[in-house]
Chain A
Amino acid sequence: MRRIVSNISTQSHEFKENQADMARVLNEFRQLQQKARYTRPERDMQRLNKQKKLFVRDRLELLLDPGTPFLEFSSLAAHYAYEGTVPGAAVVTGIGLVSGREVMVIAGDASVKGGAWYPLTVKKMVRALDIAIENRLPVIHICDSAGGFLPLQSGVFPDRFAAGRIFRNQVQLSKMNIPQIAIVCGHCTAGGAYVPALSDYNIIVRGTGAIFLGGPPLVKAATGEVVTVEALGGCDMHTTTSGTADYPADNEPQAFAIARDIAAQFRKPKKQVIETAPVEAPYYDPEELYGIIPMDRKTQYDVREVIARIVDGSRFHEYQPAYGKTLVCGYAHIWGYKVGILGNNGVLFNDSAKKAAHFIQLCNQNKTPLVFLQNITGYMVGRTYEEEGITKDGAKMLMAQGGSVVPKFTVIIGGSFGAGNYGMCGRAWDARVLFMWPKAEIGVMGAEQAANTLVDIKTRQMQKEGITLSEKDIEAIRTPIMESYERDLSAYYSTSELWDDGILDPADTRNALGMSIACSLNAQIDDQSYGVFRF
């Protein structure tokens, strides 16, 4: 495999300008992330302290193998929701190592509204369980929740992918012979009580942990019975009498030590074998991406420059280098794992869509995981292209991509607009993980296009009534659209709504993908099968 030859000058004015802009963006991103992870109102931290409960981040320290990576998902979930009062959607999810096993951790954050489940909390938990199912990852639940956030119960409870899905997914995991551990550090009330009850192993902390369908106030209201928390659902009752909980623990450190010892009993799964090569660091420094990503998202740049800073040795075997040049396809290795990469170099044309379909089929046949690097404004429009069958060629690409059996990984590195999002394995298309770079944008169309379209419609409407809009009138239409669109298209809005699994520092992309690919191989790759291609 040959090394990509970079055409970037790290000394150029443009590079330095891009780099400075990215430094500003990343600085903001890191501050937001730091805040969402660690900054809490003083009184909430004091309350935890008084209850002798640890902060969720300290619990993770106790659980995870020291010095090993933790791939955290959606650290900025709910960033724009609930007036910004629910950092990280009040739950931490991610893949880490416990006693040498790759596990999914789902940890309620009781420092935010007592760990109450908001609609986005539930969405984040369900997504984490979906990732566990797809990648056959054991799950460790750290339970500490006041229950559903009652003012928003309609968004928490009834729908197909609402809270019930958490328990449904737990049942699926169990059926699939994927173990789960629950560590009950706080209350598990009502539906939340099923999290430990549906786990294979659970541990309950004496004095703070409790499991019950209805807490003491609800019991009193329902039947008049007066009962204490400990008697109703505490550690000793459940571990000696009901058998709902398995292991009593005197305190949290002991509970996490027991959990680690249980995980050490898990069978180590046999991983799917794919092609590998000795690991080689990229020849080009991944931090050079900061100077390569243009300040203006609209500016076209060569995706090979990105590939060169993600893959082993910056080596890339390009498939069909002269055909369908707006889509770059080829083989490379990431942390030694052979992957097929598809990266956008412009709009998708008939030839680029057909090339994609062909390359995806090759990868499915030789069991090569797929990596999509999305920077796409869409498929080409216009009479010529429709006559050439751009719609059916796009459908071929969807049929191949959507019908893939190999694991898929998507990073939105630039724009993700319209149908291009579908072809390039957007959220609806079951990428094992989907990350965004901080300057990426996602939507039906860009802010400017939307503003122009709406101004155009309004202008024609008014013309019919004989009124010509002044510059000022036009600005009055444009400005609010531009502003709301810019927010709604941003990576922060996407990640707030959990349309992705988190925002990545571009230089971390290689590591995030490497870990995701390693985890994906816990699930065997099926034999290929497809729907009907329209030729």
Chain B
Amino acid sequence: MKREFVIGSESYDVLLNKALGEYHLDVGDRQLAIQAEEIGSGEYFIYVDGRKQRAFVAVDDENTYIHMEGKAVTIQRIDPFEKIMGGDGADGSGSSLLAPMPGTVISVNCEPGQQVSEGDVLMVIESMKLETTVAAPREGIVEQVNFSAGDTFDQKALLVSLQAEEE
């Protein structure tokens, strides 16, 4: 996975290579010989294709800040793994909320036709001595509520459904 850096709104694929003890930076089709020499805390001489420049560098969790030739540049570092994986891995697209196990309805907190947001509690159920909230996986409109408080249900029973998303 190539590392990606963003300066301003432009994104750069950059690869740092080491060959025969020297570093090369591949930027697009260009290959630059590169070398950095630390001369103080956060202060460097940077050699790009033999040209020497003085730079001040600071690093935080997401960005690298460089002050060089009278200009300040913020480079945002994008973790390619993070970018590929996207989101938090949660399945936020479903419309049918099925019972994870048999149990009893404690309370119903929504009604058909109601507009709900992601994370809103639609129903509270109890099973195996545990209370679980059935929350909206996404924003939408409640279509069906199939049980009332006190009702029992089987595993995979459809508890609540949301109206299908419009394309």
Question: A-side interface residues toward B, CB under 8 Å?
Answer: 2, 4-5, 7, 296, 298-300, 318, 321, 326, 346-347, 349, 377-378, 380-382, 384, 415, 417, 445-446, 448-449
B130 in contact with A347 (CB, 8 Å): yes
Separation of A5 and B88 alpha carbons in the complex (Å): 6
* B37 contacts the other chain (CB 8 A): no
Which chain B residue shows the least CB distance to A347? B128
B99 smallest CB distance to A (angstroms): 12
Cβ–Cβ < 8 Å partners of B39 in chain A: none
A2 in contact with B127 (CB, 8 Å): no
Separation of A347 and B155 alpha carbons in the complex (Å): 13
A320 smallest CB distance to B (angstroms): 12
B129 in contact with A321 (CB, 8 Å): no
Which chain A residue shows the least CB distance to B129? A377
Interface of A is mostly: loop
B131 in contact with A7 (CB, 8 Å): no
Separation of A441 and B88 alpha carbons in the complex (Å): 31
Cβ–Cβ < 8 Å partners of B119 in chain A: 7
Cβ–Cβ < 8 Å partners of A347 in chain B: 101, 127-128, 130
Cβ–Cβ < 8 Å partners of B89 in chain A: 318, 321
Tell whether A298 pairs with B130 under 8 Å between CB atoms, given A7-B119, A382-B102, A384-B155.
Answer: yes
- In addition to A296-B131, A326-B100, A347-B130, 13 A-B residue pairs with Cβ atoms within 8 Å of each other are A2-B82, A4-B88, A5-B88, A7-B88, A298-B131, A299-B131, A300-B130, A347-B128, A378-B128, A378-B129, A380-B128, A446-B129, A449-B129
Separation of A445 and B130 alpha carbons in the complex (Å): 12
B79 smallest CB distance to A (angstroms): 8
B101 in contact with A380 (CB, 8 Å): yes
Which chain A residue shows the least CB distance to B102? A382
Which chain A residue shows the least CB distance to B87? A5
A298 in contact with B128 (CB, 8 Å): no
B60 smallest CB distance to A (angstroms): 13
Query: What sequence of 0s and 1s flags, for each residue 117-140 of chain B, a beta carbon within 8 Å of any chain A beta carbon?
Result: 001000000111111110000000
Cβ–Cβ < 8 Å partners of B81 in chain A: 2
Smallest CB-CB A-B distances: 7 pairs: A5-B88, A300-B132, A377-B129, A347-B128, A298-B131, A377-B128, A299-B131
Near A by CB (< 8 A), chain B positions 50-106 give: 81-82, 85, 88-89, 100-102
Q: Which of A7, A300, A378, A415 has the most CB of B within 10 A?
A: A300
Cβ–Cβ < 8 Å partners of A381 in chain B: 128
Cβ–Cβ < 8 Å partners of A377 in chain B: 128-130
A349: contacting residue among B88, B101, B131, CB under 8 A? B101
Q: Which of B89, B130, B131 has the most CB of A within 10 A?
A: B130
A358 smallest CB distance to B (angstroms): 20
Cβ–Cβ < 8 Å partners of A5 in chain B: 88
B101 in contact with A298 (CB, 8 Å): no
16 contacts between A and B (CB under 8 A): A2-B81, A2-B85, A4-B88, A7-B88, A7-B119, A298-B126, A298-B129, A326-B100, A346-B101, A346-B128, A347-B128, A347-B130, A380-B101, A415-B130, A446-B129, A448-B129
Interface size on B, residues (CB 8 A): 18
B100: contacting residue among A296, A346, A448, CB under 8 A? A346
Separation of A382 and B128 alpha carbons in the complex (Å): 11
B94 smallest CB distance to A (angstroms): 13
A419 smallest CB distance to B (angstroms): 12
Separation of A4 and B82 alpha carbons in the complex (Å): 11
A511 smallest CB distance to B (angstroms): 23
Which chain A residue shows the least CB distance to B88? A5
Separation of A448 and B129 alpha carbons in the complex (Å): 9
Which chain A residue shows the least CB distance to B155? A384
B86 smallest CB distance to A (angstroms): 11
Separation of A349 and B99 alpha carbons in the complex (Å): 14
B93 smallest CB distance to A (angstroms): 14
Separation of A326 and B127 alpha carbons in the complex (Å): 13
Tell whether A300 pairs with B129 under 8 Å between CB atoms, given A321-B89, A346-B100.
Answer: no
Cβ–Cβ < 8 Å partners of B82 in chain A: 2
B136 smallest CB distance to A (angstroms): 13
Separation of A384 and B156 alpha carbons in the complex (Å): 12
B132 in contact with A346 (CB, 8 Å): yes
Cβ–Cβ < 8 Å partners of A298 in chain B: 126, 129-131
Tell whether A417 pairs with B129 under 8 Å between CB atoms, given A2-B82, A2-B85, A7-B119.
Answer: yes
A355 smallest CB distance to B (angstroms): 15
Separation of A349 and B128 alpha carbons in the complex (Å): 11
Separation of A378 and B155 alpha carbons in the complex (Å): 17
Separation of A378 and B133 alpha carbons in the complex (Å): 19
Cβ–Cβ < 8 Å partners of B133 in chain A: 299-300
Cβ–Cβ < 8 Å partners of A300 in chain B: 130-133
A321 smallest CB distance to B (angstroms): 6
Cβ–Cβ < 8 Å partners of A415 in chain B: 129-130
Separation of A377 and B100 alpha carbons in the complex (Å): 15
B138 smallest CB distance to A (angstroms): 14
Separation of A347 and B103 alpha carbons in the complex (Å): 12
Which chain B residue shows the least CB distance to A296? B131
Separation of A5 and B127 alpha carbons in the complex (Å): 27
Cβ–Cβ < 8 Å partners of A446 in chain B: 129
Cβ–Cβ < 8 Å partners of A382 in chain B: 102
Separation of A160 and B126 alpha carbons in the complex (Å): 43
Separation of A104 and B90 alpha carbons in the complex (Å): 44
Q: Which of B89, B101, B133 has the most CB of A within 10 A?
A: B101
Cβ–Cβ < 8 Å partners of A349 in chain B: 101
Separation of A508 and B64 alpha carbons in the complex (Å): 33
Separation of A347 and B125 alpha carbons in the complex (Å): 13
B22 smallest CB distance to A (angstroms): 27
Cβ–Cβ < 8 Å partners of A417 in chain B: 129
Which chain B residue shows the least CB distance to A377? B129
